[in-house]
Structure 1
Amino acid sequence: MYTCSNKTGWSQTFVPDCVPEDPNALKTQIVRYCAVSSIENSHHAPITDIMWLPDHVEINRMGVPQENKGFESCQIFTCATDNCILVWDTRPTKGPQQQQQGAKPKDKDGTKNPIGVPDTFKHLDLTWKPMLKVHLHKSEPGGDHAPTKFSIAEKQGDRGALSKATDGGVPDKEASVTGGYFHSGKPESGREKRTLQTVKTHFFVGTEDGEVVYVDWMPQKDQDTGKIQTPKPDFYHTMHDGPIMTVQRSPFFMDILLVVGGWNFTIWKEAVVSGPILQSAPNPICMTSGFWSPSRPGVFYISKVDGSVDVWDLLDKTHEPSITQSVSPSAITKIYPHAVSHKQHLLAVGDSSGTLHILEIPWSLRLPAPNEVTGVANYFEREVKRRGFVVQRWDFREHEKRELEAEAKKKAGIAPNVLLTDEEIEYRLKLEYQAEGNFLRELGITKEEEPLPQT
């Protein structure tokens, strides 16, 4: 085993071919599944993203976030390109019939199962159904959104929402939003689960068409049909020219998201609905993945199909990457930085040929600068103000354009569109009725004048 380094400070570890002493040392261990979901109730397209819900929160069948008293993750979010996101629960649906954790399975004759598959989730096998379905409708005709990646606001380990929970029931705000579908009365008993009001039910979704969608997973009552269904997205913008490959929140700012897809990346702030606060210029090489630095708030990594990794430092440059490191001759499919210790950070890079590369991150990219968190936060705040100024200028230019069009029509002698009052509309209808009656009398269809309708 040896290590080489280059001028940028990166180092890569190589393992030469050798014959192991134990012939079974390099055999791949097989992990067998414990349960399979019901085919009829599963996704109808390949699953593109999956995530466990944090262990301090769970959601009921109506999407209301509640306290998880067991503090064990028991629900899973999955998304696929079949236009929906499903929520699965690993617990049995009724009765304490759950098998003992870690019980050793046996065959019918009582002998030990040689495969060694535990029956922990035996109650789910081939009968597992999602408890909640989030369908991504579009606001206009032309198909629905096909999700590829998603990100929720709640974070594993952050249990601040528990201190602001309410005892039982559902908040009045949620009850009013759902059109009275929920009841926000007193808890039925002391065992009622507490509702977590501060947990955001809105989340970001990246789609196959390069759209960034912001939608609420809590179903609402449709005013037209009266059905309980997923509401329309609060907003969505098409900012990428390819499928979204990464939707990840910053570990330092939970309302800041990095989105990578196609030939560019964008950075979003959750409170800004008009668009991203930062959008990169189109890159000549397609991007495949992205990841925030675990130790520096202004640094993130972008992988590309030419086998290189771009390192972006927002405090250094925002128009181009600070460093571009060539890693593999094949396209990179996934990257993952990890802090082994305070003095050693590694970057795992996987490529399309099935090779895993481990790179050591130099000290300049792992040690944060003094007050870097404050500096990056100020930068994001300036970008939010800049975005607001851009939207204001758009509105001003649109208003100015309408005034110029009206002035041009006036000079050309074209009367502008005027809104008539009810009396003027009624007078015009009477004139049209009289003209029609005169025409019918001229044709001999009617011989005497019919009275006008009384109003």
Structure 2
Amino acid sequence: MEIVHEYTKARGDFGRQCLFSDQPAELLADVAPDSDLALQFMTRSSRVQALQCSQDMSEHQVNTERFESESRGINHVEGGWPKDINPQDMEQTIRFRKKVEKDESYLISIMQLGDVIGHCVGQNTAVNIYQKYFEDEDLRDKIQEPPSAKTINVFRDPNQVKRTVTCLSWHPDGGRKLAAAYSCLEFQKASTDMSPDAYIWDIENPNKPELTLKPASPLVCLDYNPKDSHTFVGGSYNGQIVFWDTRKGSQPTDVSSLEQSHRDPVYKTIWLQSKTGTEAFSASTDGQILWWDVRRLSEPTEQLILDLGREGNLDRALGAISLEFESTMPTKFMVGTEQGIVVSCNRKAKTTSEKIVCSYDSHHGPVYALQRNPFFPKNFLSVGDWRARIWSEDIKESSIMWTKYQMSFLTDACWSPVRPAVFFTVKTEGVLDTWDVLFKQNDPTLSVKVCDEALYSLRPHESGRLVACGSQQGAVTLLEICLGLSSLQKNEKSLMAEMFEREAKREKILEARQKELRLKERSRSEQSREDEASRDAAEREETPEQLIARAEQDFFSMVEAEKRRRKEREQEKKQMGGRQKDCTSGAQLGVKRSHPKSL
């Protein structure tokens, strides 16, 4: 615990406040040159020297180990007493203090220490004339400015045959570097002269990649190790898992064997939260989730087959195309499949059937992106087909929030690492959308046309200000988001918690109502089936004579009903005919009465 003692002092004791103002330059003195003084000096003749080359310079960077400092203090309550003095005895301590205070050396030492302490106290109470008193107001004005984004750099694929940027990963130590994986995922569109290389870019130098990675097969995904910034793992197009240590060069440090790897391209690799920092797991469209230890990539340490029947049948497994893992929930992970289903899994379950916990029927097509909210892990974001959805783990029937159907496909999405209400999406028309659900839910808060080709990958920096987007033609665009969308707003966490809770309650009520209607419909159908079954059973129990008698009775009852109906019709016709006669006679009488008057 750091021990701090504060000294307070009234503002009036500081003296008059320093006030600074801008004023134009003022000439205080003008000294004319003296020709007599120039005679006392000798002018040096000019000398010209030509140089053909400059001195050789070299630059080198070394990452040293971090020095972790900590502040420690001791709260000195009692001590320093002679052996013959008992600190618990009040009389002895008072007597000893009086004796020491009368000593001349004590008075001299106190006077000397007083000046030192006074100087330290004066430093603590001094006025900082360079302090910015209105810094908060400037920050508030920047936050309230309209949403905007600007392009910082564009990193282009140096190869002639352009490839799609399928995955991006930021360097964990400050984010000075950005790793990009390039691959062609279109069916039978990859050419033979296409390069399999991946690159690590320095965000300050877009002209040339800092390091070129040379895998045997093009990388579909890659991920930096959060515990060791020199290592990262990647998933290849041929299904292999590749491990790199950048200190050893461009070639892979270790590669998994083809027999023990995935059968399809590896679409996602994520590092696990472990003590050694060497464990990762991968997902592929072959329906397998494999766990690896990069110290020994000869075979996976664990396997899970995404068979919703919980039988481990690889032929009926769902193809995994996205993967989600939150370090605060080390036993849970989620998988997005090609069939539009999100599967929630538990790694620590004992049996294979228990590892698949539940599933969410989320999209009409593949789930391209899946991520939990960093502030509310119970809520996760999924992207597929033409819309993005926000889900709650407690509700499996439907999502609690969703966007409108867009005019083009959504290919990737992610939450902002600093704001719980903001997430980003990219589309095939080259647009980056920024959504702020506290501001509005129907439309994005900011839409930026990044490029003319489709965007396929997206990764924000941990600070929230920088966002990297990868395009179909191999260009990585680095954008800077405005301060209003990249800084935490006042009461934003509490407002988002209330919104998620409110929407979850609404969906639960609608889900309960839907279940009740289904139960009523089921009970009605079961009752009608029972009635039909009882009627059929009664008909089966009757003898042929009883059936004939019942048919005759039904026939004669129908005949009697028809006779009654005809009699009623005849009576109605007679009544109508009598009424018509009365009306015609009345009309004739009226004519006879009016005729003499007209004459």
Instruction: Give TM-score, length-normalised by structure 1.
Output: 0.61
Task: Give the drift of 1:28.
Answer: 5.8
2:532 counterpart SS class: coil
- Residue 371 (structure 1) aligned to one of 483, 491, 505: 491
1:136 aligns with 306
1:218 aligns with 348
- Residue 438 (structure 2) aligned to one of 301, 304, 315: 315
Task: Give the drift of 1:265.
Answer: 1.5
Taking the aligned partners of 2:155 and 2:382, their CA distance within structure 1 comes to 37
- Residue 12 (structure 1) aligned to one of 148, 151, 154: 151
2:532 aligns with 414
1:21-170 superposed matches below 5 A: 26=208, 29-30=211-212, 31-54=250-273, 57=274, 68=275, 72-91=276-295, 124=296, 128-139=298-309, 143-155=316-328
* Cα deviation 1:190-210 (Å, max 9, x = unaligned): xxxxxxxxx552321100111
Taking the aligned partners of 1:53 and 1:402, their CA distance within structure 2 comes to 46
Taking the aligned partners of 1:317 and 1:416, their CA distance within structure 2 comes to 58
2:411 aligns with 288
Task: Give the drift of 1:408.
Answer: 5.3
- Let me know the Cα RMSD of the aligned residues: 3.0
Task: For 1:356, give the aligned amino acid.
Answer: V
Taking the aligned partners of 1:346 and 1:219, their CA distance within structure 2 comes to 38
2:465 counterpart SS class: strand
Task: For 2:333, give the aligned amino acid.
Answer: F
C-alpha contact (below 8 Å) 2:426/2:458 kept by paired residues: yes
Gaps (5+ residues) in structure 2? 1-144, 157-206, 213-249, 542-599
Taking the aligned partners of 1:15 and 1:334, their CA distance within structure 2 comes to 14
Task: Give the drift of 1:148.
Answer: 1.2
90 and 11 in structure 1: CA distance in 2 versus 1, 3 angstrom threshold: closer
Task: For 1:9, give the aligned amino acid.
Answer: S
2:514 aligns with 394
Instruction: Give TM-score, length-normalised by structure 2.
Output: 0.47
C-alpha contact (below 8 Å) 1:296/1:367 kept by paired residues: yes
Task: For 1:85, give the aligned amino acid.
Answer: I
> Does structure 1 residue 346 correspond to structure 2 residue 550?
no
| Bigger proportion of residues as helix | 2
2:356 counterpart SS class: coil
C-alpha contact (below 8 Å) 1:277/1:387 kept by paired residues: yes
1:336 counterpart SS class: strand
2:503 aligns with 383
Gaps (5+ residues) in structure 1? 1-5, 18-24, 58-67, 92-123, 156-198, 222-228, 419-427, 429-455
269 and 80 in structure 1: CA distance in 2 versus 1, 3 angstrom threshold: same
- Deviation larger for 294-303 or 141-150: 141-150
Choose 1 or 2 for highest CA Rg: 2
* Cα deviation 1:25-80 (Å, max 9, x = unaligned): 836633210111122111111101001112xx3xxxxxxxxxx3xxx411011111
Taking the aligned partners of 2:208 and 2:323, their CA distance within structure 1 comes to 36
C-alpha contact (below 8 Å) 2:155/2:477 kept by paired residues: no
132 and 417 in structure 1: CA distance in 2 versus 1, 3 angstrom threshold: farther
Task: For 1:250, give the aligned amino acid.
Answer: N
1:414 counterpart SS class: helix
- Residue 255 (structure 1) aligned to one of 368, 372, 378: 378
Taking the aligned partners of 2:469 and 2:319, their CA distance within structure 1 comes to 27
1:175 aligns with none
Task: For 1:40, give the aligned amino acid.
Answer: E
* Cα deviation 1:258-284 (Å, max 9, x = unaligned): 111221221122333333222333222
1:177-188 superposed matches below 5 A: none
- How many residue pairs get aligned? The number is 303
C-alpha contact (below 8 Å) 2:270/2:325 kept by paired residues: no
C-alpha contact (below 8 Å) 2:284/2:320 kept by paired residues: yes
Taking the aligned partners of 2:522 and 2:534, their CA distance within structure 1 comes to 12
1:201 aligns with 331
Task: Give the drift of 1:409.
Answer: 5.8
1:234 counterpart SS class: strand
Task: For 1:202, give the aligned amino acid.
Answer: K
Taking the aligned partners of 2:403 and 2:348, their CA distance within structure 1 comes to 33
> Does structure 1 residue 246 correspond to structure 2 residue 369?
yes
Identity of aligned residues (%): 28
C-alpha contact (below 8 Å) 1:139/1:233 kept by paired residues: no
Task: For 1:134, give the aligned amino acid.
Answer: L
Task: Give the drift of 1:399.
Answer: 2.0
326 and 131 in structure 1: CA distance in 2 versus 1, 3 angstrom threshold: same
C-alpha contact (below 8 Å) 1:240/1:265 kept by paired residues: no
Task: Give the drift of 1:302.
Answer: 0.6
1:220 counterpart SS class: coil
> Does structure 1 residue 276 correspond to structure 2 residue 399?
yes
388 and 311 in structure 1: CA distance in 2 versus 1, 3 angstrom threshold: same
Taking the aligned partners of 1:347 and 1:396, their CA distance within structure 2 comes to 46
Task: Give the drift of 1:406.
Answer: 5.0
